[in-house]
Structure 1
Amino acid sequence: MVYGVREGWRREGFESHEGAVGVLLADGSEPGPVFFDLGSGSTFHESTSWWHYDGEFRRPTAISMRGRCACGWRGAKRYVIDWEKVREDDDPDTYDTSGPYGEWKAHLDDVAGRAVALPKDLAALLGQVRERIDRMWLEDDTTRGYAAMLRVCGALEAIVTETGPEAARALAREHDEAMPAVAEALGMTEKAARTRLLHYEHLAWK
């Protein structure tokens, strides 16, 4: 089972597709954020966490939950919320959210399946580099050890700075028309893909 995760669901490499539990009201609509008056003048805190739609303090009452993603995707299935159980346990993290999570996971599997795959040998090398850098933290916590880590970072940045701008500019030549395809290939939302292209287009080695 999957229980409440307050920080949302994430998958490495697909950060713009963060998932969470979404809710629906009795009329089938999806409510906007809940606002909380923190007693500091005009300052209000807002939340879209599912457990805040419990009907208390004039807040909307959600009757069901479903998976949702930052890209706009919403799960097709609805899962009735047992508010009595939520209140009895007095901790939303103990409430089972396996259904919404499973749908979001399937959505992410689809996103990942349509994204361009890294060459297997390169993906393996990147994994080895990450593991080796992680070991460096354990092997040498002296000044020279930290300096070695920064030299590694510098070497990686040099590679990125040499290849990133050229690839980004090539993709940007057909910017508007090709953006949906570019976003799909990157496994990102279109907004995140545009940000990524702009970042690499103007990247310069310093």
Structure 2
Amino acid sequence: MVYGVREGWRREGFESHEGGVGVLLADGSEPGPVFFDLGSGSTFHESTSWWHYDGTFRRPAATSMRGRCACGWRGASRYPIGWEKVRENDDPDAYNTTGPYTEWEAHLDDVAERAVTLPEDLVALLGQVWERLDRMWLEDDTARGYTTMLRACGELEAIVAQVGPEAAQVLGREHDEATDAIAEALGTTEKAARARLRHYEHLTWN
């Protein structure tokens, strides 16, 4: 079973698709953020954490939960919230959120399936690089060892700086503002795809 995770749900390689528990009111609408007055003048804190929609202190009262993703996806199923059980444990993290999480996982599977697949030999090479750099922490815990790691990072950045800008510029020219297809291929959101294109278009390495 999956219980509340305050930091949100993430999958390696698809960080922009952070998931979490969304809520619905009795009329089926999705409420906006809850605002908290911290007592410091005009400063307010906002939250979309599901356990804050309990109807207390004039907050919206949620009746059900569903999966949600930063990309805008929302789960189709609704799961009633037992507020008595939430208050009984006095710990939102102890509440079972398996239903919303399972639907978000299926959504991420779909995102991954529609993303471009890296060649197997490249996947293997990247895995070897990760593994080798990770071993260096154990093999040489000295200034020389850390210098070696930094030099390796420099070599990797040089490769990215040579390949990334050209790929980003070509994609930018061919797709113009149509970043939805690029985002889908990258397995990311449109906002993250635009940011990545801008980052690589102007990347240089000295």
TM-score (norm 1): 0.97
Partner of 1:138: 138
Q: Distance in 2 between matches of 1:34 and 1:6?
A: 16
Structure 1: which 5+ runs fail to align?
Answer: none
Q: Secondary structure in 2 aligned to 1:17?
A: coil
Q: Distance in 2 between matches of 1:35 and 1:177?
A: 35
- For residues 153-173 of structure 1, what are the alpha-carbon distances to aligned partners after superposition, in whole Å with 9 as ceiling and x for unaligned? 001001101100111111011
Whether 1:98 aligns to 2:98 is: yes
Structure 2: which 5+ runs fail to align?
Answer: none
Seen in structure 2, the aligned counterparts of structure 1 residues 178 and 58 have a Cα distance that, compared at 3 Å, is closer
Q: Secondary structure in 2 aligned to 1:67?
A: strand
- For residues 84-119 of structure 1, what are the alpha-carbon distances to aligned partners after superposition, in whole Å with 9 as ceiling and x for unaligned? 000001111111111000000100000000000011
Partner of 1:88: 88
CA RMSD of aligned residues (A): 1.0
Partner of 1:6: 6
Partner of 1:65: 65
Q: Distance in 2 between matches of 1:176 and 1:97?
A: 40
Whether 1:16 aligns to 2:16 is: yes
Q: Distance in 2 between matches of 1:66 and 1:117?
A: 30
Q: Which letter does structure 1 place at the counterpart of 2:17?
A: H
- For residues 159-192 of structure 1, what are the alpha-carbon distances to aligned partners after superposition, in whole Å with 9 as ceiling and x for unaligned? 1011001111110112335422111111111111
Whether 1:199 aligns to 2:202 is: no
Identity across the alignment (%):
82
Q: Which letter does structure 1 place at the counterpart of 2:98?
A: S
Give structure 1 regions of 4+ aligned residues with deviation exceeding 4 angstroms.
none
Q: Distance in 2 between matches of 1:178 and 1:60?
A: 37
TM-score (norm 2): 0.97
Q: Distance in 2 between matches of 1:174 and 1:118?
A: 21
Q: Distance in 2 between matches of 1:146 and 1:9?
A: 32
